[in-house]
Amino acid sequence: MSARRQLHLTRVAGHTLTALAYAILWLPLVAVAVYSFNSAKVGLEWEGFSARWYASLFHNEGIRNAALNTFILAGTSTAIASALGTALAIALVRYPQPRWLRPILDVVVDLPIVTPDIVFAAALVIAFRFARTLSDVFQPGLLTMVLGHVTFQISFVALVVRSRLVVLGETLSEAAHDLNATPRQAFRRVTLPLITPAIAAGAVLAFTLSLDDFVISFFTAGPKSDTLPIYIYSSMRRGLSPEIHALSTLIVVVTALLVLGSDRGKR
């Protein structure tokens, strides 16, 4: 077999595998989007095209409350995690620690990223149970959900911002100091503008993860703090509804837009 023939077969195999991967990834989402326009009230039998389920979403009080909780939770936790994650990244990169301590800090920062959600959620339940012995403010609800989301969002923000700081190095900050800039002026006029895209990308990533999270939200939620993922889970146990398909489609679209925004922010 000639080299040209081998190259052609390799390209065909690569394109085939790529198409298969995209099909596995997107076909379930496309199916949900298609059935969100099904006029049937229940089941998966196609009875005709209709967009009424999207309109009915806005008249469903349960969905409205869940959506409000979801965006309050995501917005608040993202704001807190962005500030703390940025400060953590700067401390790790710009203020060197002893050599023996660096691996420990890296593990502490990266552990929430690789820890299974169910393990992390169970640990939060125990932590909040202990915290309730000190104060009733830690009763299950939006506050505990915000704190739970912040605990894993910080790592993602710190990871993105730290990567940006490592790429930038300290040359520009040192140049600012040579020009008689104070540490505060060097940070505000040099470092902060340069890492702002990374902070924005980390914030979008944290916001997206909060929107999509179910396990940690479920374990820390109170009776009146349902989010959209929890609402969808509860609704599916009662039977699939086109409203759930419509809601799921909107969540996927919003999440995809946020991920695209995050990708642009990293460039």
- 28-76: pLDDT as tens digits: 888 888 888 877 776 667 777 777 888 887 777 888 888 889 989 999 9
Which pLDDT value is given to residue 87? Answer: 92
Tell me how crowded residue 146 is: count the other CB atoms within 10 A of its CB.
Answer: 24
Residue 209: C-alpha distances to residues 70, 131, 204 (Å): 11, 25, 9
What average pLDDT does the structure give for the chain? 83
Domains recognised in the chain with CATH numbers: 55-266 (1.10.3720.10)
Which pLDDT value is given to residue 53? Answer: 80
What does the CA dihedral 230, 234, 236, 242 come to, rounded to 10 degrees?
Answer: -70
Residue found under tokens 């979801």: 70
Residue found under tokens 């002026």: 185
Which pLDDT value is given to residue 59? Answer: 79
HEC-encoded secondary structure of 155-196:
HHHHHHHHHHHHHHCCHHHHHHHHCCCCHHHHHHHHHHHHHH
Which pLDDT value is given to residue 56? Answer: 81
Q: Which residues contact 73 (CB under 8 A, 6 or more apart)?
A: 142, 145, 146, 149, 210, 217, 225, 227
pTM of the full structure = 0.79
Question: What are the residue ranges in the chain where pLDDT is below 70?
Answer: 1-3, 8, 42-44, 178, 238-240, 261-267
Which pLDDT value is given to residue 76? Answer: 95
At 172, is the secondary structure helix, strand, or coil? helix
